[in-house]
């Protein structure tokens, strides 16, 4: 299985372990004549008075030789997806899912942290071996 | 010559035709431990009391099968470069240079316009055949 598909399957399992119900695989949107496919859509019942929480998750492998180039692409995709969700599904929160090895090696660098903060990139850090979510960064 | 290099040469010539002096090719920055290379840096003398205007230009060919995927990558790169410039060279204005054919075919679509406005992407639209700038979108 290609790494991209493997990570997709792993994040799906990791979300299910935390009682998320996968509702869309992929989550399809159409906004302003443009079609989007976000990797996963999921829902979870939270405190009854708050109803259901809905998320969308875009999974990135960062497998090229340049994590910075991969991050440029991930950032632009994330911001365009978030904009599309604002228009078509505004109570769904978008997360970028990133393997723990990349989080440690790239996202802890000073510039990456500045960029993630500036553009308010919510992250799910996952362990691809254990198929668990290590950290939610809201 | 690869299309990427050809477009680079064309934008350089087009800027020089408008009395820009190319000062950096590429423009190198280092911010928060991360190195960046933006395609071009240029300066132009404006009204004497205002001194010199400085720009940085990232040139995108949009030659893949998916202009949306190319745009995701261009957007993320542009926003990270703009953030790096804010820190290290804050009076330099960043532009995304795009060939006229892509501007007409992709950037006039509703979603692309929404995204360009939201993220305040300044654009230089160039004609690769005539080697001229068709439009500055500030």
pLDDT tens for residues A54-72?
Answer: 999 999 999 899 999 999 9
Q: What is the pLDDT of residue B49?
A: 64
Global pTM?
0.94
**Gap from A111 CA to chain B (nearest CA, Å):** 5
Both tokens of B80, joined, read: 């990270």
pLDDT digits (tens, 9 = 90+) for B97-123: 999 999 999 999 999 999 999 999 999
CATH of A3-137, one of 3.40.50.10800, 3.40.1350.10, 3.30.565.10, 1.10.20.10: 3.40.1350.10
For B60-84, what is the mean pLDDT? 95
| Domain parsing of chain B, residue ranges | 3-137
Averaged pLDDT score across all residues of chain A? 94
Q: What is the DSSP code (8-state) at residue B20?
A: P
Q: What is the pLDDT of residue A3?
A: 75
List residues of B whose CB lies inside 8 A of any A CB: 31-34, 68, 71-80, 83-84, 87, 109-115, 118-119
Whether A134 has a pLDDT exceeding 90, the answer reads yes
Cβ count within 10 A of residue B65: 6
Q: What is the pLDDT of residue A52?
A: 85
For A29-49, what is the mean pLDDT? 88
Whether B51 has a pLDDT exceeding 90, the answer reads no
Closest CB to A75 among B76, B111, B112: B76
User: Distance (Å, rounded) from C-alpha A38 to C-alpha A78?
Assistant: 9
For B18-41, what is the mean pLDDT? 95
Whether B3 has a pLDDT exceeding 90, the answer reads no
Q: Which residues contact A91 (CB under 8 A, 6 or more apart)?
A: A54
Pairwise CB contact (< 8 Å): B111 & A32: yes
Q: What is the DSSP code (8-state) at residue A84?
A: H
Q: What is the pLDDT of residue B1?
A: 63
pLDDT digits (tens, 9 = 90+) for B76-89: 999 999 999 999 99
């Amino acid at each position: 299985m290609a790494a991209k598909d493997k990570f997709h399957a792993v994040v799906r399992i990791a979300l299910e372990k935390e009682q998320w119900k996968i509702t869309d695989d992929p989550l399809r949107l159409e906004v302003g004549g443009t079609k989007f496919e976000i990797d996963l859509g999921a829902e979870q019942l939270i405190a009854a008075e708050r109803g259901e929480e809905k998320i969308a998750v875009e999974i990135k492998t960062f497998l090229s030789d340049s994590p910075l180039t991969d991050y440029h692409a991930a950032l632009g995709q994330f911001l365009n997806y978030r904009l599309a969700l604002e228009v078509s599904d505004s109570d769904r929160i978008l997360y970028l899912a990133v393997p723990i090895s990349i989080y440690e090696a790239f996202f802890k660098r000073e510039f990456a942290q500045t960029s993630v903060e500036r553009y308010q990139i919510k992250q799910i850090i996952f362990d691809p071996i254990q198929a668990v979510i290590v950290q939610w960064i809201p």
